[in-house]
Structures are given as C-alpha cells and as structure tokens.
Amino acid sequence: MITRRMLLKGAGAAAALVGAGGCQTLAESGGISAQLTPAPARAPILGDIESGTPVWAYNGTVPGPTLRVKRGEELSVRLTNNLPQDTSIHWHGIRIDNAMDGVVGLTQDAVAPGQGFDYRFTCPDAGTYWYHSHNQSWEQVARGLYGVLIVEEETPPPVDREITLVIDDWRLDDAGAIHEASFGALHDWAHQGRVGNWVTVNGLPPGDIAVQAGERLRLRVVNAATARIFALKIEGHAAQVAALDGFAVDPYAPTNSVLVAPGQRVDYILDATGEPGGRYALLDDAYTDARPISFFAYSDAPPVRAQFDSLPSLGETRSPPAPDLSQALRADLAMEGGAMGGLGQAMMGGEMKGMRELAQAGRVWAMNGVAGDLDKPLVSTKRGRSVAIAMTNDTAWPHAMHLHGHHFTVLRIDGKPAPGAGKTWRDTHLMMPRERAEIAFVADNPGKWYFHCHMLGHQAGGMRTWIEVR
C-alpha cells in the first residue's frame, strides 16, 4: 500500500527539491551537446530520496536532464543504450530533420542494448518541447524515459523566474513498485490506456513550489503520462495561458480548467498575486473532483512588486505558413475500435481479419480500416502543399492525435470553427469521444512523419499512420 506516511514524507522532500530548481540542466555545456544514457535507475517517485523506486531513466533521473538551446541553435545528443531493450529518442514537437526524428521502423533502426546513436538537429521554433523514447514507448515512457527540451526565445519574455513542471502518472503495485505485470495489457489498450494511480511532478509526489509574492513566473507544463489527461487550474490566481505545444497564443486567462493531454504542453504566465505565507494548489479535475498535484507556497517576504506590467507576449516565434485551403490535399481519417467501439474487422498484415484475430495480435484500434499496418501512408504529398485532414473519432474514448515534424491548426470541431483556428498551432490535438475535427498544415518538411495517438497503448494497439512529404 502507498501509505499516508509515504505521501507526507514525499511532500517534504518534494518541497526541498522543487524549491531548489528541480531538474538538472546542461546549460554548463553551452546547451548544444549532451549525452543521454537510458538505463535502469532508482528515482524518488514516492518521495523516498535515499532508496528510490526502480525505474528506467536518462542519466539516472526522472525526468531526464533538461536540455536548453536557443532558437535556431544546433543540438547534438549522443544516445548510449544501457537498457535491456532496444530504444530510440524522439524530439516531440520539433520541426526536425526527418532522419533525426527517432521513430523506430519509420525513420531509423532500433538502437540495441550496448549500441549508440548520434542525434544532431537544429531547433527552429522557440518553446516548450520534450523528448522521450520512441520504441516500445508504452513501456519505456511509463518507466520514466522522458525529459524536457526548452528552446529559448532570442529575447526571452521579462519574467522573474521560470518553473518547469513535468506531470506524470504511474501505475504502482501494492508495494509501491512499477506495476510490471500489466505492461501491455490488452484491456488497458482497448480502454483509456495505462491509467495510473500515482501522480508525480518533476519525478516527485505532490509538493511545494516556493514562490515569493509579486513575482512574475513562466510555468512550462508538460504532460508525460502515457494515458492520463490532466485538467489544470491554479487556485486563487488568474494565470494566463501564453503558449500551447510550444507555440505562442494571444495570452488569455482561461475560465475553465486547461486540458493537457499526453504529449501536450502549456506555458502559463503566473503573476504571484497571492498573500505572503499563502499556499495555493495546482489542481487537476480531469476525472474527479479537483485534487492538488502541487502547491504554490509563498514565503513570508513582502511582495517584490505591487503592480504588474501588462503581459509580455511570447509571440516572437515564427508562425507556420498558413495553409491554402482552396488548393489543399484532403484526406479523411476514421478512428475506430477499442472497448465499446464495435470494430468488426480491419486490415492487418495486408489481410482482412476479424476481431478475435486482431485482439490476439494486440491490434484493437484501426485508422481507415487498417489496424496499425504502416505499409502505406495516409497522405503522400509534394513538399509545400497544404494538407487538410478531417478526423472522426468514432470510438468511445478520447485520443491525443500527434503529428511529427509539423504543427497544424485545428480548423473546425464538430462542424463549428475551432477557437484559435488559423492562429493557434499545435502538434497534438485531443479528440473527444465521437468528435469530428479538421486540421490543416503546410507539408513543408520532407520525410516520413508518424501520425498517431499519444495514448501510447492506443498507438501500439493500432492507432497509428504516417504522412509522406516528398
């Protein structure tokens, strides 16, 4: 059992670590070259700093080291695989050179235990990104193989401090260890995915984030969970959303909780307008009543400023080119399957198979009637063409659709113009059950681009395709 004592002990430890700045960074190295070595490790996800829980980690910590580059800078990373499994690294959200995208089976071969791979690429857009394993990711990410990649604006916005919060959801057994017996469980894959029972922020149980009244903070939030959606709000504050999936938006103070699906990121500007000595929760109310997943703990010091200037925009980032809808190549994407989905049959290995055979092979989802085969792309286009995809979620489950190598704009949801259409750029869109959404982008990055659900058990279970840009 995870006991209350463990929780309390964890909270204290978390306070110390988050207060001290949390993750390790590689700024010392000039921010452009790094080593990432995934290996079994122990991490204090229960708050037990001395002993830790067995995980898989990059360079021994969960999250792995935070990588920081300036926009336009080149990053080179040497991966050395010290895991007992093949692996690779994907740089989620980066408009990257295709050969560096890290998708085993599509853009590179798996990196075997004891082997290495050199990633070298430039980061063309400022924003909050992340990296994670892209081989057997439903297990490897769930064991802790992820980290943050921050691409700084040339002129960063005038904030006093930045705080990065990587949220994860672990499935632990009664002894507090990672529940290994349920890795790959078809029941999970056919439902929401591997939903856990233990939330961490920066690899620690809910704890305190030290704040001083009057500070202006930039919060970078990453959802690294393999299945759980978070719905965030900050008690007692009018925090403004300033970027989604790395891209600046016109800042707004959301009236409802902000949904953050697996793979998505949200940047907030948080003006610390609370009282000295106050404690305000970061709440998640995605599935249950609001529950705290961290606390903004104010010191007793008097406010560092009494008034805040108007909000800085993060809008220095380049916007992707606007898709030309009159000339766009159009495709439909029907998402089917899963529990209560009524999928009768689908193509697998080039043949039509019934549900029993599909389930035996772990394929419980289909896209356009194909259960995970990658022999043909969804769309094949010349470079530079606009592409519009009409996605229909004909299932009983939400799905976080992620496109590699590009950012898209969501044009319409259920027939109505989507908020931010043509202005907001994302790499992952959360599709609600039965939702229909149209997305568009200019296919200007050549290569083979994976397009899949970021509920990673769904991806493995067949919810995947790709887009070819020639």
Residues that bind ligand C2O (CB under 6 A): 90, 92, 132, 134, 263, 402, 404, 450, 452, 454
Q: What three-state secondary structure class fits 289?
A: coil
Helix, strand, coil shares of the chain, percent, nearest 5, are 10, 45, 50
Closest CB 161 distance from ligand C2O, rounded Å: 27
Q: E strands along 213-344, which residues?
A: 216-223, 230-234, 240-244, 247-252, 258-260, 265-271, 279-284, 291-298, 329-337
Which residue in 399, 404, 407, 429 binds Cu ion (CB under 5 A)?
A: 399
Closest CB 115 distance from Cu ion, rounded Å: 31
How many other C-beta atoms lie within 10 A of the C-beta of residue 154? 10
Decide which of Cu ion, ligand C2O, none touches 263; Cβ closer than 5 to 8 Å per partner kind.
ligand C2O
Decide which of ligand C2O, Cu ion, none touches 450; Cβ closer than 5 to 8 Å per partner kind.
ligand C2O
Q: Using an 8 Å Cβ cutoff, are 412 and 438 in contact?
A: yes
Segment near Cu ion (CB under 5 A); pick from 11-19, 23-31, 217-225, 445-453: 445-453
Decide which of Cu ion, ligand C2O, none touches 194; Cβ closer than 5 to 8 Å per partner kind.
none
Decide which of Cu ion, ligand C2O, none touches 402; Cβ closer than 5 to 8 Å per partner kind.
ligand C2O
Closest CB 447 distance from ligand C2O, rounded Å: 13
Euclidean distance between CA atoms 14 and 390, whole angstroms: 44
Q: What three-state secondary structure class fits 18?
A: helix
Q: How many CA atoms lie within 13 A of 458 on its CB side?
A: 32
Decide which of Cu ion, ligand C2O, none touches 399; Cβ closer than 5 to 8 Å per partner kind.
Cu ion
Decide which of Cu ion, ligand C2O, none touches 455; Cβ closer than 5 to 8 Å per partner kind.
Cu ion
Taking the chain, what is the end-to-end CA distance rounded to the nearest angstrom?
A: 54
Between 92 and 216, CB nearer to ligand C2O: 92
Euclidean distance between CA atoms 102 and 274, whole angstroms: 43
Closest CB 92 distance from ligand C2O, rounded Å: 4
Between 429 and 452, CB nearer to ligand C2O: 452
Decide which of Cu ion, ligand C2O, none touches 458; Cβ closer than 5 to 8 Å per partner kind.
Cu ion
Which residue in 443, 455, 460, 469 binds Cu ion (CB under 5 A)?
A: 455
Closest CB 453 distance from Cu ion, rounded Å: 3
Q: Using an 8 Å Cβ cutoff, are 68 and 152 in contact?
A: yes
Between 129 and 280, CB nearer to ligand C2O: 129
Decide which of ligand C2O, Cu ion, none touches 429; Cβ closer than 5 to 8 Å per partner kind.
none
* 345 token code pair: 């049959």
Q: Using an 8 Å Cβ cutoff, are 237 and 274 in contact?
A: yes
Between 295 and 451, CB nearer to ligand C2O: 451
Residue nearest to ligand C2O (CB): 92
- Is 458 a binder of Cu ion (CB under 5 A)? yes
Euclidean distance between CA atoms 143 and 179, whole angstroms: 10
Between 143 and 458, CB nearer to Cu ion: 458
Between 17 and 430, CB nearer to ligand C2O: 430
Q: Using an 8 Å Cβ cutoff, are 27 and 68 in contact?
A: yes
Count of chain residues binding Cu ion (CB under 5 A): 4
Which residue in 67, 167, 364, 453 binds Cu ion (CB under 5 A)?
A: 453
Decide which of ligand C2O, Cu ion, none touches 453; Cβ closer than 5 to 8 Å per partner kind.
Cu ion
Residue with tokens 């122990």: 42
- Is 272 a binder of Cu ion (CB under 5 A)? no
Euclidean distance between CA atoms 415 and 418, whole angstroms: 9
DSSP character string of 172-238 = B-TTSSB--TTTT-HHHHHTT-S--SEEEETTBSS-EEEE-TT-EEEEEEEE--SS--EEEEETT--
Closest CB 316 distance from ligand C2O, rounded Å: 24
Q: Using an 8 Å Cβ cutoff, are 206 and 13 in contact?
A: no
Between 198 and 449, CB nearer to ligand C2O: 449
Q: Which residues are near Cu ion by CB under 5 A?
A: 399, 453, 455, 458
